[in-house]
A and B are shown apart, each in its own frame.
Chain A
Amino acid sequence: DAGITQSPRHKVTETGTPVTLRCHQTENHRYMYWYRQDPGHGLRLIHYSYGVKDTDKGEVSDGYSVSRSKTEDFLLTLESATSSQTSVYFCAISESVASIRYEQYFGPGTRLTVT
């Protein structure tokens, strides 16, 4: 998984509680992404980061926030978890040279269940 770890790998939480998922990379890539994977939807981008403290929204960002204080770490926070956020969450990284982005490498995923 290209030097990407995600923690926790599995989590069960209750509706209304805050949850933070962590993505850690050892590749020193500039770009980091958070996706969610749901049956019938494929993968959808939640947020991404193009550098330390530089983040932007993706396709399904409502109810999520992110932070990146170090190149290697990208955190995804569900401020108040809902059952609709039950999903598998993937972190991805990619590099960029002269405005050309290269392939995205994905982490192993975090399975989150909100009860």
Chain B
Amino acid sequence: QQQVKQSPQSLIVQKGGISIINCAYENTAFDYFPWYQQFPGKGPALLIAIRPDVSEKKEGRFTISFNKSAKQFSLHIMDSQPGDSATYFCAADQTGANNLFFGTGTRLTVIP
């Protein structure tokens, strides 16, 4: 059973557009929600992360929006660039659990 559900599976966006990837979870004990970026042939790399005490976190062009009551969080990439083309994974973790649960990934393609 997938602990974290991610959509869409793939996304095509024009350069300069906004990319939005959504994730949902059921376990209310999760208290850490990172997003990872993965380029072909490489390992995932942490992009941005949020804890449930805030509803939004922004780092440059990347923003996480978090809705605790709906148990949903999303990644927004503003002014998307071809260099952002990669696979993005959301994840969720619970302090002390030692098990980071990943979504199934979204392949983002930014068209020049």
Listed in ascending order, the chain A residues whose CB lies under 8 Å from chain B are 1, 4, 31, 33, 40-45, 48, 50, 56, 58-59, 90, 92, 99-101, 103-109
Whether the Cβ atoms of B98 and A107 lie closer than 8 Å is no
Task: Specify which chain A residues have a CB less than 8 angstroms from the CB of B45 in the assembled complex.
Answer: 105-106
Given B6, B42, B98, which contacts A31 in the complex, CB threshold below 8 Å? B98
Whether the Cβ atoms of B99 and A59 lie closer than 8 Å is yes
Given known contacts A1-B43, A108-B42, A48 and B98 CB-to-CB distance under 8 angstroms: yes
Whether the Cβ atoms of B99 and A108 lie closer than 8 Å is no
Whether the Cβ atoms of A107 and B43 lie closer than 8 Å is yes
Given A31, A42, A108, which contacts B102 in the complex, CB threshold below 8 Å? A42
Whether the Cβ atoms of B89 and A42 lie closer than 8 Å is yes
Beta-carbon contacts under 8 Å, B53-112 to A: 89, 93, 95-96, 98-105
Whether the Cβ atoms of A106 and B104 lie closer than 8 Å is no
Task: Specify which chain B residues have a CB less than 8 angstroms from the CB of A1 in the assembled complex.
Answer: 42-43
Question: Contact mask B26-49 → A, CB, 8 Å, 1/0?
Answer: 000000001010000111111001
Q: Which of A50, A58, A104, A108 has the most CB of B within 10 A?
A: A104
Task: Specify which chain A residues have a CB less than 8 angstroms from the CB of B104 in the assembled complex.
Answer: 40-42
Task: Specify which chain B residues have a CB less than 8 angstroms from the CB of A100 in the assembled complex.
Answer: 95
